[in-house]
Amino acid sequence: MEEHKRLFVGGRWTAPGRDEHLAVVSPHSEQPIARVAVAGPEDVDRAIAAARRAFDEGPWPRLDPAERIAAVRRLAELYRPRRREMAQLITAEMGSPISFSKFSQATLPMMLLDAFAAIASAFPWEETRSGFFGSDVLVRGEPCGVVAAIVPWNLPLFLLVGKLAPALLAGCAVVIKPAPETPLDALSFAELVEEAGLPDGLVSILPGGAKVGEALVNHSGVDRVSFTGSTAVGRRIAAACGASLKKATLELGGKSAAIALDDADPAAVAEGVKVAGLMNNGQACVAQTRVLVPAARRGEFVDALASMVKELVIGDPADPATEIGPLVSRRQQDRVRSYIESGRREGARLVVGGSEPPSGAERGWYVGPTLFADADNRMTIAREEIFGPVLAVIPYRDDDDAIRIANDSDYGLSGSVWTADGERGLAVAQRVRSGSFGINQPYSMDPVAPFGGVKASGIGRELGREGLESYVDTKSISGARVATNA
């Protein structure tokens, strides 16, 4: 069993302040695969003190942006040959099928590093404006300070890099808390950070549970919080940040809709929902688990979806043929099963799957992909984020009704529309309240495009230029030309 006895604090491997560990357990075998040191309050204090020194006194925030860009590109080059190893590691720790891990879990983080370096190269770090009152104004983008980045377990490295890269490029120091279920990829990435030769104090990685996250959020030495996770926890973080006037980006839950218009091909919709609704074993905030179909053609769409779900390969996530692996934990397995039972009790028609373990997967935290038909948007399975491989087909009357149902949600993160008419699809996309949307494709998190949600799906944006801007404070300096020429 792998042992991690040290913490990565301020760019150095150090002994933790107390002898506490957590076990990383394989979702497939239910056996421990690693033992990891857990950060305590004193470790949080040490990491933030190191980050404050790096930010307040160190060279990083004051470097020419080109030097920070070069450092992030160096980190990308160091990561490049480790992609296969990282994919296998994430599959082992959280059960993501290796077919999904190779790109989404392991290659996308490298692409993020490259993309953010390119975005930073074109970013207007300084701009001189002709002032309205006669003197020039210099507008500068400056780093926002010490960042606490709290990362979930479902896309652990992608989301870690999505916070770390723009924060570093902006000139910030960062303390990262990976999820207790998935600390191994973060600790492996810490080795690359060390090898990249970043200044002391700039990056810390502190495994642990809710207590570590709470200590980071409430610490007076933290200037900004970036959190990805559940809406319930996001609300508490928002309240804490509001009380101390910390800036925060919150990327939270979703209950997105895939809308099949009456001219759509059922087979194409089913193939799209296979990715949009069931990627990563259904454990994705962007999962489009409400499938809205025209009432007059509901049978065709349900049949196509049922055929797709029945053909999915369930099994060992390390097998390249596997399409649906285990859920991350027993708690998550129990949670998803309870939602399936809720759907049955509330009157949705179970077409495929159910709460019983799928055949051949009696060991491990598996839930078979499940399809409900004739669901109503008021049902629990249509209102709450399940975070598992469960789809609910909801019929609608016409385009206006479909849009109404899609918008009848506490969430607004993702979505898609499927149609033979691109202009009609765009008209639907423009009326659905969500932070992102796809036309005849599942929404993909493109590194150049801002990502985030509306309503209970969060506050702020990650990725794209907007993701970099969220770590930048804007300063205006009046009389800049006079000061420059003096």
382-413 pLDDT, tens digit per residue, is 999 999 999 999 999 999 999 999 999 999 99
Closest C-alpha to 41, from 72, 79, 7: 7
Of the candidates 93, 172, 241, 251, the residue annotated as catalytic is 251
* Dihedral, 394, 397, 400, 402 alpha carbons, nearest 10: 10
pLDDT-derived band of residue 483, with 50, 70 and 90 as boundaries? Answer: very low
**pTM metric for this prediction:** 0.96
CATH 3.40.309.10 segments of the chain: 257-439
In the chain, pLDDT over 90 holds for what percent of residues? 95
Task: Catalytic residue, from 144, 172, 241, 285: name it.
Answer: 285
Task: Find tokens 């019983």 and name the residue.
Answer: 356
Where are the alpha helices (H) located in 370-431, listed in sequence order?
Answer: 380-383, 399-407, 422-431
pLDDT digits (tens, 9 = 90+) for 259-299: 999 999 999 999 999 999 999 999 999 999 999 999 999 99
Distant-in-sequence, close-in-space partners of 124: CB < 8 Å, separation ≥ 6: 141
* pLDDT for 486 beyond 60: no
Domain 2-252+457-478 class in CATH: alpha beta
Sign of the four-CA dihedral 230, 233, 238, 239: positive
Give 362's pLDDT tier (boundaries 50, 70, 90). confident
Distances (CA, A) of 41 to 38, 45, 52, 207: 10, 6, 16, 12
Question: Residues 1-19: pLDDT tens digits?
Answer: 899 999 999 999 999 999 9
Mean pLDDT of the chain: 96
pLDDT for 135 equals 87
* Helices vs. strands in the chain: H and E counts, helices first: 17, 23
Domain covering 257-439 assigned CATH 3.40.309.10 in the classification: yes
251 catalytic? Reply is yes
CA distances (Å), origin 435, targets 226, 414, 449? 17, 6, 11
CA 266 vs CA 269, 304, 439, 485: distances in Å: 5, 6, 15, 68
Segment holding 372, helix H or strand E: strand 370-373
CATH 3.40.605.10 domain residues, the chain? 2-252+457-478
Decide if 385 is catalytic. no
- DSSP 3-state of 24: strand
Regarding predicted confidence, which is higher, 438 or 132? 438
Report pLDDT digits (tens) over 149-204: 999 999 999 999 999 999 999 999 999 999 999 999 999 999 999 999 999 999 99
In the Cβ-directed half-sphere of 307, how many Cα atoms lie within 13 Å?
11
pLDDT (0 to 100) of residue 237 = 98
